[in-house]
Amino acid sequence: MQAVFQRAGGMGAIIGGVMRAAGSFAPAVLSPSAQAVLYFATDVFLLLGVAGFWLKQRASLGFVGALGLVVFVAGILVIRVTNGAEYQLGAAVALLGVTLYSAKTLTARSGAPFAPVAWLVALAFSVAGMLGFAPAAMMLSAGVAFGMAFVAAGLETLGATHFGLVSPRSTSTRSI
């Protein structure tokens, strides 16, 4: 049963990640009501993805990694409870959560580096945009990087072995 939930979480992360990356371009092509539906569905899939990460890595997450996932969920809840009115606050909290998770994953080498590095790139883009360096381009880039990080984490959750998206601990140490 756990494997089914973990796979659902991996698929949710991939779908939510693609939707988040595509959602970066939504204001240019979708009506506000269509955007609201897209963003709600995206958040549901991202939350499903986080559940999948937790199921796969709960033994190696430690306090900081688990706290990061809880903080991410809190950020999404801020967005949803305020009906998007506090999007900037919720997005910052969610990004802080995946930053904590990323730091733990990278320092413990408990997962493939692509997703954590992409989340940190999203953080860098966000900070650059907030400091006034090409704000629109930086925020769009942050959304794409954030979404692609979820795609990578979803692939790892599913056990993908292509493109270096497999955990270092799950690779064979046998010589060829």
DSSP, residue by residue, 78-127: HHHHTTTTTHHHHHHHHHHHHHHHHHHHHHHT-S-SHHHHHHHHHHHHHH
- In whole angstroms, give the CA distance from residue 99 to residue 81: 22
For the chain, the distance separating the N- and C-terminal CA atoms, rounded to the nearest angstrom, is 35
- Mean pLDDT for the stretch of residues 12-38: 96
C-beta of residue 86 within 8 angstroms of C-beta of residue 78: yes
User: Residues near 134 by Cβ (< 8 Å), separated by ≥ 6?
Assistant: 128
Phi–psi pair at 168, nearest 5 degrees = -60, -30
pLDDT tens string 114-167: 999 999 999 999 999 999 999 999 999 999 999 999 999 999 999 875 444 444
168 in a structural domain: no
Task: Give the percent of the chain with pLDDT over 70.
Answer: 90
106 in a structural domain: yes
97 in a structural domain: yes
pTM: 0.88
Higher pLDDT, residue 47 or 165:
47
- Mean pLDDT for the stretch of residues 28-46: 95
pLDDT of 22 reads: 96
Token pair in block for residue 20: 């988040």
**Residue 174 confidence (pLDDT) above 80:** no
Q: Which domain holds residue 49?
A: 2-162
**Helix locations, 24-86, DSSP H:** 26-29, 32-81
Q: How many structural domains compose the chain?
A: 1
146 in a structural domain: yes
169 in a structural domain: no
**Residue 171 confidence (pLDDT) above 90:** no
14 in a structural domain: yes
175 in a structural domain: no
Per-residue pLDDT band at 108 (split at 50, 70, 90): confident
174 in a structural domain: no
pLDDT of 173 reads: 39
**Residue 170 confidence (pLDDT) above 70:** no
Q: Is 51 in a helix, a strand, or coil?
A: helix
